[in-house]
Chains A and B, each alone.
Chain A
Amino acid sequence: MFELSPQDWVAVQLSLRVALVATAVSLPLGIAAGWLLARKDFPGKALFNAVIYLPLVLPPVVTGYLLLLTFGKRGLIGGWLADHLGVVFAFRWTGAALACGVMAFPLMVGAIRLSIESVDRRLEDAASTLGASPAWRFATVTLPLALPGVIAGAVLAFARALGEFGATITFVSNIPGETQTISAAIYTLTQVPGGDWQALHLVVIAVLISLAALIVSEWFGRRAGARVHGT
């Protein structure tokens, strides 16, 4: 029988919320970073690039630990946020979203950067001569033409966020109902005698969600692509 326990459902919902929030919040930042890397030269660009890609090459546990140091309750940024804005990341689902967002960021920026680089700059020049300021030029020409890549980057980040495990569990632990995502729940179940069968249920759910994300992105990408190459 395929049945999810209430606790499993909580993990599924939490995972979706964490991945969606992580993707939505990081998307504007990802577009800004992708644009900077694709179009601008500035001092420290190589370092900026390296810092963005760092989570991709660091062991996730290390990223999680660094997040704990900076965004924990006594962390440099975390302490300030808690005192001044009342925003707490430590051991909250928001912390899980932060960890997932950071881990997924390199993939998102990579896709967006590539798509912005592939936008014909001569079209941007044409927009300038027609009176478009740099901000309008970006909003009406660059971004729409880069849209297929932006969508691909967002879906990639969503999928990555959904599967994040190491950084999340290190940073915000594995608290059912608060920070226990699908991955963490599967891990917990495999540690319990006889939990394998239940873990398999969650595995199926994870596969289905990822598959759905890929199909949706393919569909969006195709539509956006058709718009861009418009006939």
Chain B
Amino acid sequence: MLAVDAEKSLGAFTVKAVFTGDGGITALFGPSGSGKTSIANMVAGLIAPDRGRIAFNGDVLFDSAQGINLPAHARRVGYVFQDGRLFPHLSVARNLDYGRWMTGQQRDDTQFKHVTDLLDIGPLLKRRPGALSGGERQRVALGRALLMKPRLLLLDEPLASLDAARKREIMPYLERLRDDTGLPMIYVSHDPAEVRRLASRVVLLDGGRVTATGGVEILS
């Protein structure tokens, strides 16, 4: 389980996040500017909290009291960004394989096939990211994060940059992912419908603070 108790000043704005995740999808829900993405970045190791502690299943990722700050590349926390962030100079296949390569894992063709089938991205492997539609790009980004075999997956508004039709296209894949992989996920969103459909646990945020935590029923 993810356990977060972290504080970070960003100019005049302070994020103070205290919450735990569960084994399923934990949604960080709140209006834009409520600190959701900053919290995801702290869990990923892209920004360091000023103080606090972040641990996953007992492994300490960050602890200011002990002076521990595991760098992002050593955390094995997958991250799907709102804007995809595929590497434009690499083919889809090389993008997908990047995390396995960087973490020094053995090639796992079964897993590769499984993930590309799950996301229906097999036919795209030879293409470049520049030649993909927005929905295809997000599916590849999902696959890329999964294939590094993370212990936790962060999804930062993965649907926000897509139009309604593309959202409908991706949503079933997210559900499949949740049901198929059993991977704990943190899902950042400001859309109650998305959260209701996907999450098992909700952390409500406003102005950088956690205002409530509980099941999806706390959304209404």
Contacts and interface: CB of A to CB of B under 8 A. Distances in A.
Contact of A126 (B77, B79, B128): B79
A148 to B, nearest CB: 11
A54 interface: no
B87 A131 contact: no
Nearest to B47: A125
A131 B130 contact: no
B89 A144 contact: yes
Closest 7 CB pairs of A and B: A230-B128, A131-B103, A130-B99, A128-B72, A131-B102, A231-B130, A129-B79
Interface string B142-161: 00110010000000000000
Contact of B76 (A122, A131, A231): A131
Contacts of A228: 88-89
Contact of A128 (B73, B87, B128, B130): B73
B46 A125 contact: yes
Contacts of B73: 127-134, 137
A128 B88 CA distance: 16
Interface in B72-114: 72-79, 81, 83, 85, 87-90, 98-99, 102-103
Nearest to A129: B79
A229 B88 contact: yes
B136 to A, nearest CB: 13
Interface in A106-125: 120, 122-123, 125
24 contacts: A122-B85, A125-B72, A126-B81, A127-B87, A128-B46, A128-B71, A128-B73, A129-B44, A129-B46, A129-B75, A129-B78, A130-B102, A130-B103, A131-B102, A131-B103, A132-B73, A133-B73, A136-B102, A137-B73, A227-B89, A230-B90, A230-B128, A230-B129, A230-B131
Interface of B: 44-46, 71-79, 81, 83, 85, 87-90, 98-99, 102-103, 128-131, 144-145, 148
Interface in A57-79: none
B198 to A, nearest CB: 21
Contacts of A129: 44-46, 72-73, 75, 77-79, 145
A120 B73 CA distance: 18
A11 interface: no
A141 B102 contact: no
Q: Chain A contact residues: over half helix, strand or loop, or mixed?
A: helix
Given A145-B88, A228-B88, A230-B88, A127 B81 contact: no
Interface size for chain A: under 10, 10 to 19, 20 to 34, or 35 or more residues?
20 to 34
A131 B148 contact: yes
Contacts of A126: 79, 81, 85, 87
A132 B71 CA distance: 10
Interface in A127-186: 127-134, 136-137, 140-141, 144-145
B215 to A, nearest CB: 29
Interface string A206-231: 00000000000000000000011111
Contacts of A127: 73, 87, 98, 102
A230 B87 CA distance: 9
A137 B79 CA distance: 16
A131 B99 CA distance: 6
Contacts of A134: 73
A121 to B, nearest CB: 10
A227 B103 CA distance: 25
B81 A122 contact: yes
Nearest to A231: B130
Interface centre among B76, B102, B148 (most CB of A within 10 A): B102
Contacts of A140: 98, 102
B89 A145 contact: yes
Contact of B89 (A136, A137, A230): A230
A199 to B, nearest CB: 46
A130 B98 contact: yes
A123 B78 contact: no
Contacts of B77: 129
B89 A122 contact: no
A130 B79 CA distance: 8
Interface centre among B76, B87, B129 (most CB of A within 10 A): B87
